[in-house]
Amino acid sequence: MSQPVAFQFSKASCVALGSFNIYIIQPAWLTRVGILPKDTPIVIEANMARPGFRLSSPEMSTVWFVSPGKLAIESKREGPDCGEQMAAVLSKLPETPVYGLGNNVLFQASRVGLEPFPSLEACANVVVEPGGYTKKRHVFATTLERDGRAFSLQLTVGSELVELSGNAHLQLTGDGTTEVAARAAAGFRADSRVLADLFGEALGVRIENVASH
């Protein structure tokens, strides 16, 4: 008898919302301030539709998305600390207004053989399909708060995949400071662990191979 399918890591990211000078956050500057190793080969992909670009490298475990309103550092590998790099950038830009900081994680599982859990069954039965329509996907979301932090959990059920996306968000009021945002970014691993635990405790799912545990 085969084992039930559990959720596996898909990707994680640390995202800062603010007013960023995209002409500062460049490979040469990142190398000069010690965030990227010297002589790291960098691939830059420009966004021709709007200001911004994507930074990646075969020697880097993260991909960077830089735009005037957002800086995102993402990894599709389990283990890299996206928040550590974000904190390093923010600490070098003390005058940059930052309005919010989110640590995010995404888990996926195939619907075939997925271990049943209460929220999955509730989502499947909450909507009645009208005649002539086929349900393509359904979503359940909840936000839990503790110590001024919002932890959002979202379950998305598709025809082939089931996804769990978690966001640990800190909203900065007033002008916002990179110092506070950097501290939140430095908590990336802890937030990832909290989100994985919340999926288990709040939704009753089973997640395997969480590097942050």
Q: What is the maximal distance between C-alpha atoms in the chain?
A: 62
Quote the CA–CA distance of 115 and 149 in Å, as a whole number. 30
Cα 75 to its chain centre, rounded Å, is: 9
Tens of pLDDT, residue by residue, the chain (213 residues): 345 568 999 999 999 999 999 999 999 999 999 999 998 999 999 988 889 999 999 999 999 999 999 999 999 999 999 999 999 999 999 999 999 999 999 999 998 878 777 777 666 666 777 878 877 778 889 999 998 889 999 999 888 899 999 999 999 876 567 899 999 999 999 999 999 999 989 888 888 755 444
Q: pTM of this prediction?
A: 0.89
DSSP 22: T
